[in-house]
Amino acid sequence: MMIHIPNVLTRDQVLRCRQMFERVAWVDGRVTAGPQTSAVKRNLQIPEDDPEGLECGQMIVAALYRTPLFMSAVLPHRILPPMFNRYDEGMTFGSHVDNAIRRIRATGESLRTDVSTTLFLSDPEDYDGGELVAEDTYGEHAVKLPAGDAIIYPATSLHHVTPVTRGARISSFFWTQSLIRDPLRRGLLFDMDMAIMRLNHDHPGHASAVQLTGVYHNLLRQWSEV
Q: How far apart are CA 217 and CA 203, in angstroms?
A: 20
Binding-site residues for Fe cation: 96, 98, 159
Measure the CA–CA gap between 159 and 96, rounded to whole angstroms.
Answer: 6
Q: Are the beta carbons of 45 and 96 closer than 8 angstroms?
A: no
Q: Which is nearest to 127 in space by CA: 162, 165, 90, 158?
A: 165
Cα 79 to Cα 65, 72, 103, 202, 214: the distances in Å are 10, 15, 11, 33, 27
**How far is Cα 28 from Cα 200, in angstroms, rounded to an integer?**
49
Residues contributing to the annotated binding site? 96, 98, 159, 169
Beta bridge partners of 119: 150, 172
Q: Which residues pair with 133 in a beta bridge?
A: 142, 160
Cβ contact 121:172 at 8 Å: yes
Annotated binding-site positions for 2-oxoglutarate: 169
